[in-house]
Amino acid sequence: MTIIHIGIVKTAYSPTQHIANGAQLCHGFIYKDLIQNVLLLICSQNIVTELYSETIGFNRIPAMNKDDDNEGLAMFSKLIDGIKPITQNKRHFGTPLKTKQEIELKEQQLHANSYFSDTYQPLLPVQGPMRWLEDGVDSLELKRLRRGDYQPDLLLDLHGYRQSEAKLELAALIQACVKQQSLCCCIMHGYGSGILKQQVPMWLVQHPMVKAFHQAPKEWGGDAALLVLIDIGELPHRR
Protein backbone atom coordinates (compact mmCIF):
# COMPACT_ATOMS: atom_id res chain seq x y z
CA MET A 1 0.00 0.00 0.00
CA THR A 2 1.32 3.47 -0.97
CA ILE A 3 1.98 5.94 1.88
CA ILE A 4 1.85 9.73 1.35
CA HIS A 5 3.61 12.39 3.45
CA ILE A 6 1.57 15.58 3.87
CA GLY A 7 3.46 18.81 3.34
CA ILE A 8 1.78 22.25 3.22
CA VAL A 9 -1.98 22.75 2.84
CA LYS A 10 -3.24 26.01 1.40
CA THR A 11 -6.96 26.57 1.69
CA ALA A 12 -9.51 29.28 2.26
CA TYR A 13 -11.54 26.99 4.49
CA SER A 14 -10.34 26.44 8.05
CA PRO A 15 -11.54 22.79 8.48
CA THR A 16 -9.02 21.73 5.82
CA GLN A 17 -6.20 23.02 7.96
CA HIS A 18 -7.56 21.00 10.88
CA ILE A 19 -7.58 17.91 8.64
CA ALA A 20 -3.96 18.48 7.67
CA ASN A 21 -2.99 19.10 11.29
CA GLY A 22 -4.68 15.87 12.27
CA ALA A 23 -2.77 14.08 9.55
CA GLN A 24 0.55 15.42 10.82
CA LEU A 25 -0.17 14.01 14.26
CA CYS A 26 0.26 10.52 12.80
CA HIS A 27 4.02 11.15 12.44
CA GLY A 28 3.35 12.84 9.07
CA PHE A 29 2.01 9.67 7.38
CA ILE A 30 -1.53 8.64 6.48
CA TYR A 31 -3.00 6.22 4.02
CA LYS A 32 -3.66 7.23 0.45
CA ASP A 33 -7.25 6.00 0.63
CA LEU A 34 -7.95 8.33 3.56
CA ILE A 35 -6.57 11.29 1.59
CA GLN A 36 -8.83 10.52 -1.36
CA ASN A 37 -11.90 10.35 0.92
CA VAL A 38 -11.02 13.68 2.50
CA LEU A 39 -10.58 15.28 -0.91
CA LEU A 40 -13.92 13.88 -2.01
CA LEU A 41 -15.61 15.54 0.97
CA ILE A 42 -13.83 18.82 0.31
CA CYS A 43 -14.74 18.85 -3.38
CA SER A 44 -18.38 18.01 -2.60
CA GLN A 45 -18.67 21.26 -0.64
CA ASN A 46 -17.10 23.35 -3.43
CA ILE A 47 -13.96 24.16 -1.43
CA VAL A 48 -10.97 25.37 -3.40
CA THR A 49 -7.92 23.58 -2.05
CA GLU A 50 -4.37 23.22 -3.13
CA LEU A 51 -2.59 20.27 -1.57
CA TYR A 52 1.18 20.00 -1.90
CA SER A 53 2.73 16.73 -0.89
CA GLU A 54 5.85 14.66 -1.16
CA THR A 55 4.85 11.24 -2.43
CA ILE A 56 6.37 7.92 -3.34
CA GLY A 57 5.68 7.28 -7.01
CA PHE A 58 4.10 10.69 -7.91
CA ASN A 59 4.49 14.33 -6.95
CA ARG A 60 0.87 15.47 -6.96
CA ILE A 61 -2.43 13.81 -6.27
CA PRO A 62 -4.57 14.00 -9.42
CA ALA A 63 -7.61 16.26 -9.33
CA MET A 64 -11.05 14.74 -8.83
CA ASN A 65 -13.05 14.29 -12.01
CA LYS A 66 -16.52 15.67 -12.63
CA ASP A 67 -18.30 12.36 -12.04
CA ASP A 68 -16.82 12.01 -8.56
CA ASP A 69 -17.76 15.61 -7.84
CA ASN A 70 -21.37 15.00 -8.87
CA GLU A 71 -21.46 11.82 -6.82
CA GLY A 72 -20.27 13.73 -3.76
CA LEU A 73 -22.89 16.42 -4.27
CA ALA A 74 -25.55 13.75 -4.59
CA MET A 75 -24.43 12.14 -1.34
CA PHE A 76 -24.45 15.49 0.40
CA SER A 77 -27.92 16.31 -0.94
CA LYS A 78 -29.16 12.95 0.29
CA LEU A 79 -27.84 13.66 3.77
CA ILE A 80 -29.63 16.99 4.08
CA ASP A 81 -32.81 15.82 2.38
CA GLY A 82 -35.86 16.59 4.49
CA ILE A 83 -34.11 19.12 6.72
CA LYS A 84 -36.15 22.28 7.18
CA PRO A 85 -34.75 25.60 8.35
CA ILE A 86 -35.81 26.73 11.79
CA THR A 87 -38.36 29.52 11.62
CA GLN A 88 -37.22 32.64 13.42
CA ASN A 89 -39.32 33.70 16.35
CA LYS A 90 -39.68 37.43 15.86
CA ARG A 91 -41.34 38.01 19.21
CA HIS A 92 -39.21 40.29 21.34
CA PHE A 93 -39.53 39.96 25.09
CA GLY A 94 -39.23 43.31 26.79
CA THR A 95 -39.14 44.16 30.45
CA PRO A 96 -42.33 42.81 32.04
CA LEU A 97 -44.67 45.48 33.36
CA LYS A 98 -44.93 45.66 37.11
CA THR A 99 -48.28 45.29 38.79
CA LYS A 100 -49.82 48.05 40.84
CA GLN A 101 -49.13 46.11 44.01
CA GLU A 102 -45.44 45.74 43.13
CA ILE A 103 -45.14 49.46 42.39
CA GLU A 104 -46.76 50.40 45.70
CA LEU A 105 -44.52 47.98 47.60
CA LYS A 106 -41.44 49.43 45.88
CA GLU A 107 -42.55 52.94 46.81
CA GLN A 108 -43.12 51.89 50.41
CA GLN A 109 -39.65 50.38 50.60
CA LEU A 110 -38.18 53.57 49.15
CA HIS A 111 -39.97 55.73 51.71
CA ALA A 112 -39.04 53.40 54.57
CA ASN A 113 -35.35 53.42 53.58
CA SER A 114 -35.30 57.18 52.90
CA TYR A 115 -37.20 58.58 55.90
CA PHE A 116 -36.95 56.07 58.73
CA SER A 117 -33.41 55.96 60.05
CA ASP A 118 -32.58 53.98 63.19
CA THR A 119 -29.60 56.17 64.05
CA TYR A 120 -31.41 59.53 64.10
CA GLN A 121 -32.16 60.71 67.64
CA PRO A 122 -34.72 63.55 67.73
CA LEU A 123 -35.50 65.63 70.79
CA LEU A 124 -38.56 63.97 72.32
CA PRO A 125 -40.06 64.36 75.80
CA VAL A 126 -38.76 61.96 78.43
CA GLN A 127 -41.58 62.53 80.90
CA GLY A 128 -45.28 62.88 80.33
CA PRO A 129 -47.23 61.74 77.27
CA MET A 130 -45.35 61.21 74.03
CA ARG A 131 -45.87 64.22 71.75
CA TRP A 132 -44.19 66.16 68.98
CA LEU A 133 -45.01 69.20 66.87
CA GLU A 134 -43.33 70.25 63.64
CA ASP A 135 -41.85 73.72 63.46
CA GLY A 136 -44.32 76.21 62.05
CA VAL A 137 -47.43 74.22 63.03
CA ASP A 138 -49.94 75.78 65.42
CA SER A 139 -49.49 74.50 68.98
CA LEU A 140 -53.26 74.11 69.26
CA GLU A 141 -52.97 71.02 67.08
CA LEU A 142 -51.37 69.11 69.96
CA LYS A 143 -54.25 70.07 72.25
CA ARG A 144 -56.76 68.92 69.67
CA LEU A 145 -54.97 65.58 69.36
CA ARG A 146 -54.84 65.19 73.15
CA ARG A 147 -58.54 66.01 73.59
CA GLY A 148 -59.52 63.66 70.80
CA ASP A 149 -60.92 66.37 68.52
CA TYR A 150 -59.45 64.53 65.54
CA GLN A 151 -61.07 61.20 64.80
CA PRO A 152 -58.64 58.84 63.07
CA ASP A 153 -59.83 57.48 59.73
CA LEU A 154 -57.16 54.78 59.54
CA LEU A 155 -55.71 52.56 62.24
CA LEU A 156 -52.49 50.56 62.17
CA ASP A 157 -51.78 47.80 64.69
CA LEU A 158 -48.06 46.96 64.86
CA HIS A 159 -48.31 44.15 67.42
CA GLY A 160 -46.09 41.25 66.36
CA TYR A 161 -44.23 43.14 63.64
CA ARG A 162 -40.46 43.28 63.23
CA GLN A 163 -38.81 46.68 62.82
CA SER A 164 -38.30 46.24 59.07
CA GLU A 165 -41.93 45.19 58.63
CA ALA A 166 -43.17 48.02 60.85
CA LYS A 167 -41.32 50.57 58.71
CA LEU A 168 -43.05 49.34 55.56
CA GLU A 169 -46.47 49.39 57.23
CA LEU A 170 -45.84 52.86 58.59
CA ALA A 171 -44.83 54.18 55.17
CA ALA A 172 -47.91 52.53 53.63
CA LEU A 173 -50.17 54.12 56.26
CA ILE A 174 -48.89 57.63 55.61
CA GLN A 175 -49.22 57.12 51.85
CA ALA A 176 -52.79 55.91 52.31
CA CYS A 177 -53.63 58.95 54.42
CA VAL A 178 -52.36 61.33 51.75
CA LYS A 179 -54.10 59.40 48.98
CA GLN A 180 -57.44 59.18 50.80
CA GLN A 181 -57.18 62.71 52.23
CA SER A 182 -57.25 61.40 55.80
CA LEU A 183 -56.00 64.07 58.15
CA CYS A 184 -55.56 61.86 61.20
CA CYS A 185 -54.58 58.24 61.80
CA CYS A 186 -53.91 56.04 64.81
CA ILE A 187 -50.84 53.83 65.31
CA MET A 188 -50.92 51.13 68.00
CA HIS A 189 -47.39 50.19 69.08
CA GLY A 190 -48.17 48.45 72.36
CA TYR A 191 -47.56 49.00 76.07
CA GLY A 192 -44.39 48.78 78.11
CA SER A 193 -40.91 49.63 76.90
CA GLY A 194 -40.96 47.64 73.66
CA ILE A 195 -38.67 48.49 70.79
CA LEU A 196 -41.52 49.65 68.56
CA LYS A 197 -42.85 52.00 71.23
CA GLN A 198 -39.42 53.66 71.27
CA GLN A 199 -38.78 53.61 67.51
CA VAL A 200 -42.17 54.64 66.08
CA PRO A 201 -42.02 58.25 67.41
CA MET A 202 -38.44 58.57 66.12
CA TRP A 203 -39.53 57.37 62.68
CA LEU A 204 -42.56 59.65 62.54
CA VAL A 205 -40.47 62.74 63.29
CA GLN A 206 -38.38 62.07 60.17
CA HIS A 207 -41.27 61.82 57.70
CA PRO A 208 -42.03 65.12 55.92
CA MET A 209 -45.78 64.43 55.77
CA VAL A 210 -46.17 64.17 59.56
CA LYS A 211 -47.17 67.47 61.19
CA ALA A 212 -47.66 66.33 64.77
CA PHE A 213 -48.46 63.37 66.97
CA HIS A 214 -49.65 62.84 70.54
CA GLN A 215 -50.36 59.98 72.86
CA ALA A 216 -53.83 58.74 71.99
CA PRO A 217 -56.87 59.22 74.25
CA LYS A 218 -58.06 56.19 76.19
CA GLU A 219 -60.73 55.34 73.65
CA TRP A 220 -58.02 54.97 70.98
CA GLY A 221 -55.46 53.04 73.01
CA GLY A 222 -54.05 55.50 75.53
CA ASP A 223 -50.37 54.89 76.30
CA ALA A 224 -50.23 52.05 73.75
CA ALA A 225 -51.02 54.24 70.72
CA LEU A 226 -50.36 57.54 68.99
CA LEU A 227 -52.67 59.88 67.12
CA VAL A 228 -50.80 61.29 64.11
CA LEU A 229 -51.67 64.45 62.19
CA ILE A 230 -50.84 64.15 58.48
CA ASP A 231 -50.14 66.93 56.00
CA ILE A 232 -52.56 66.18 53.15
CA GLY A 233 -51.91 69.36 51.19
CA GLU A 234 -53.90 72.51 50.69
CA LEU A 235 -57.30 70.81 50.58
CA PRO A 236 -59.74 71.65 53.40
CA HIS A 237 -59.08 69.64 56.55
CA ARG A 238 -61.77 67.35 57.89
CA ARG A 239 -62.38 66.81 61.56
From CA 108, how far away is CA 167, in angstroms rounded? 9
Counted domains in the chain? 2
State the pLDDT at residue 29.
44
State the pLDDT at residue 22.
46
State the pLDDT at residue 87.
76
Domain that holds residue 66: 3-79
* Ranges in the chain, pLDDT < 50: 1-31, 46-61, 236-239
From CA 75, how far away is CA 20, in angstroms rounded? 23
Residue 73 lies in a domain: yes
Are 175 and 110 part of one and the same domain? yes
Closest residue by Cα to residue 64 from 90, 81, 42 = 42
Max Cα–Cα distance, the chain, nearest Å:
119
Question: What is the spatial order of strands in the sheet that 154-157 belongs to?
Answer: 131-133, 210-215, 225-230, 184-188, 154-157
Per residue in 193-237, pLDDT (tens digit) is 688 999 999 999 999 999 999 999 999 999 999 999 999 876 544
pTM tops 0.75? no
State the pLDDT at residue 50.
44
Domain boundary among 79, 112, 145: 79
State the pLDDT at residue 149.
93
Are 45 and 156 part of one and the same domain? no
Are 121 and 225 part of one and the same domain? yes
State the pLDDT at residue 63.
54
From CA 126, how far away is CA 209, in angstroms rounded? 24
From CA 97, how far away is CA 71, in angstroms rounded? 57
Domain boundary among 49, 79, 109: 79
Are 117 and 197 part of one and the same domain? yes
Residue 237 lies in a domain: no
Residue 150 lies in a domain: yes
Are 218 and 132 part of one and the same domain? yes
CATH of the domain at 106: 3.30.1370.110
Are 69 and 105 part of one and the same domain? no
State the pLDDT at residue 122.
87
